[in-house]
Amino acid sequence: MIGIIASDRQARAVEEFFELFKTPWEFHRPGTAYDVVVCTTADVPAVDARLLVVSGAARTSLDAREGLVEHRRWHGDGILEHRGHRVPVYGDLLTFAPRDGTTPCVVAAAGGVAGVRVRTTGGTVVRLGYDLFDELARLFRDGQPVAHAGTPTLDIHVATLRDLILAEGIGLVEIPATPAGWSLIACLTHDIDFASLRQHRLDHTMWGFLYRATVGATRRFVRGRLTRSQLFQSWRAAASLPFVHLGWARDFWEPFAWYLAVERGLPSTYFLIPFKGRAGDRVDARHAARRAAAYDLSDLAPSTPKLRDAGCELGVHGIDAWHDAGMGRDERRRLSDLTGEPTIGIRMHWLLRDEHTVRALEAAGYDYDASLGYNETLGYRSGTAQVFKPLEAQALLEIPLHIQDGALFFPHNLDLGADEAWTRCAAHLEHARTAGGVVTVLWHDRSHAPERFWGGFYVRLVEALRGCQAWFGTASQVVAWFRQRREIRFERGLLRYEGDEIWPAVTIRIHHAGTAVDIPWNGHTALEAGDLPRSMRQHAEAGSWRR
């Protein structure tokens, strides 16, 4: 059991941290013995714990008691170094001067030591020079700048605390963020910005396509970004445009058939713009009028039965929901009328959001938001691969966006070649395999077609996810699994869960004496100490694991 000593303003961040690091914890009760106590207050009380972790950039009562001397103070631009990771610190960072009796570089920092271990007669003290829960609050509230997009900062904070506990030989029970029997979670999503090339006649979209399919394609060929075959396909597509408009040639912007074939029965989520011709209000960006869709939801109604038969989900690609709950309700009702589904998720068109977006989306009745990502790069906007609940939300969950086609390949974004793009994507898959969580992929409606030709890369990505034993779920299925995981409670050795059967099952992971055992659990079956190896049975009393 972990006891937490923190300020009242940090309580919500603490609670959310332990939904990501799903392990037994409670706010510290004086006089209670704990395996671990984490303290972020300046006044560090006497505690009964094998490991005391004191975290904060302000001087504490412990520092003088243990003779810890300040070396340097950083204000918002510090970098931690732990187990090969470079992790940004967005608040203050304190580094310590070395002294006898401490173990330096428990956590290092550029220019100093940000974490030291002190052995005492009562146990072990680890002093960290940054406030763990303030860092989490900043990540949840503000997200990460593009410069640190590729760092799963929040997940590394979780791993750091786990490492500190296990390094002391303290047993630990946790529920990882990956279903039992699977290596990671994959969520394939598609934003439907265009439903048909035929709907665009003599507008900026049509002329833009013609330019990119001719002049632009030639330039990409010269740069080695298109093959000769793709160049000829692009020119042929441009030449066929009059016949597409006349209905004599196939409309290669049709958004569903290609994805259904490539994904071959895998569930995916399509986000549809709810109203035709609405660019939206309060869009402070160039060419804001181009945000309006040329299709109406009724145009897609014939395709919805096929999508539902394939196990796919339809969500709202929101226009004004990000700033207005009333408009958000209208957008949600429009899609619900088409699908008949009462539970609807959303991803904002252009990923628009501000500090009021979470409350607006929750007030509009959305189950989840899938907008938390970057337009210009890949990465971890809130520093995690896990689904989480924003600090200001009551029920709404965020499923983070990690990999987007436009960020990888558009010239004004990363503009990567296929090899470098693959290296970036493979890093996300590897992180989800090791830390748990979901890899959320966004591939737009026309990205496989001329003039983009990003379909081959998508096929490679999907096949890689298949090959690494990923569990594929729609956005709503992934969010529902994380909701069930959140509903599991540890209560002094008792594991409580009162919902529907968890599918896929979660894993109960028990760390003890340098080993770990994983036990699948669906929330209904009993778990007994007899399920554990003999060396671990003392770690869990008989009956402790019964639901």
Cα dihedral 199, 303, 397, 322, rounded to 10, equals 20
Q: How far is residue 76's CA from residue 92's CA, in Å, rounded to a whole number?
A: 5
Is residue 547's pLDDT more than 50?
no
* Structure tokens, 477: 């299925």
Are residue 247 and residue 257 in the same domain, yes or no? no
Q: 96 and 30: one domain?
A: yes
Nearest residue to 146 (alpha-carbon basis) of 459, 373, 433? 373
* Contact predicate 300/195, CB 8 Å: yes
Q: What is the pLDDT of residues 77-127, one digit of tens each?
A: 788 887 788 899 999 998 888 766 555 557 777 767 888 888 887 789 999
Last residue of a domain, one of 465, 481, 497: 481
More confident residue, 219 or 348: 348
Q: Is the pLDDT of residue 541 over 70?
A: no
Residue 236 token pair: 């042929």
Domain's final residue, options 436, 461, 481? 481
Write out the two tokens for 92: 């203050």
Q: Could you give the CA distance from residue 265 to residue 473 in angstroms, rounded to a whole number?
A: 11
Q: CA-to-CA distance for 150 and 403, rounded, in angstroms?
A: 11
179 within a domain of the structure (yes/no): no
CATH of the domain at 459: 3.20.20.370
Amino acid, res. 506: V
Indicate if the pLDDT at residue 545 is higher than 80.
no
217 within 8 A of 234, measured Cβ to Cβ: yes
What's the rounded mean pLDDT across residues 368-378? 97
Is the pLDDT at 529 greater than 50? The verdict is no
Q: Does residue 545 form part of some domain?
A: no
CA 26 – CA 34 distance, rounded (Å): 10
- When mean pLDDT is compared across 92-101, 300-309, 318-327, the lowest value belongs to 92-101
**pLDDT at 60 (0 to 100):** 92
Q: Both 416 and 284 in a single domain? A: yes
Residues 257 and 247 in one domain: no
| Same domain (yes/no): 446, 512 | no
Decide if 187 contacts 438 (C-beta within 8 A).
yes
Please tell me whether residues 49 and 133 are part of one structural domain: yes
Average pLDDT for 471-488: 98
Q: Residue 286: which pLDDT band, with cuts at 50, 70 and 90?
A: confident
Domain that holds residue 132: 2-174
Give the per-residue pLDDT at 100. Answer: 61
Among residues 447, 481, 515, which one ends one of the domains? Answer: 481
437 part of a folded domain:
yes
- 453 and 493 fall within a common domain: no
Average pLDDT value for residue range 409-417:
93
Tell me the percentage of the chain whose pLDDT exceeds 90: 68
Whether residues 24 and 112 share a domain: the answer is: yes
**pLDDT the model gives residue 494:** 77
Residue 229 within any structural domain of the chain: yes
Q: Are residues 419 and 531 both part of a single domain? A: no
Q: Does the pLDDT at position 408 exceed 90?
A: yes
- 521 belongs to a structural domain: yes
Residue 147 lies in a domain: yes
In a domain, 471, yes or no: yes
- Output the CA–CA distances (angstroms, integers) from residue 146 to 156, 169, 382, 425, in the order listed: 18, 38, 11, 16
Residue 69 to residues 93, 116, 134, Cα–Cα distance (Å): 14, 11, 22
Residues 6+ apart with CB under 8 A from 346: 271, 315, 316, 317, 318, 321, 328, 331, 332, 361, 366, 368, 369, 370, 371
- Answer whether residue 547 is part of any domain: no
Query: Three-state SS for 198?
Result: helix
Domain count within the chain: 4
Asked if pLDDT for residue 415 goes beyond 50, the answer is: yes
pLDDT score, position 451: 86
> Are 209 and 297 found together in one domain?
no
With a cut of 60, say whether residue 534 has pLDDT above it: no
Per-residue pLDDT for 535 more than 70?
no
Tell whether 243 and 258 lie within a shared domain: no
Q: Is residue 515 pLDDT above 60, yes or no?
A: yes
Does the pLDDT at position 317 exceed 50? yes
Least confident of 84-93, 153-162, 169-178, 359-368: 84-93
Whether 244 and 259 share a structural domain: no
Residues 328, 363 contacting (CB under 8 angstroms) = yes
Q: What CATH number is attached to the domain comprising 37?
A: 3.40.50.880
Instruction: Report d(CA 406, CA 452) in Å as an integer.
Output: 10
What pLDDT score does 103 carry? 57
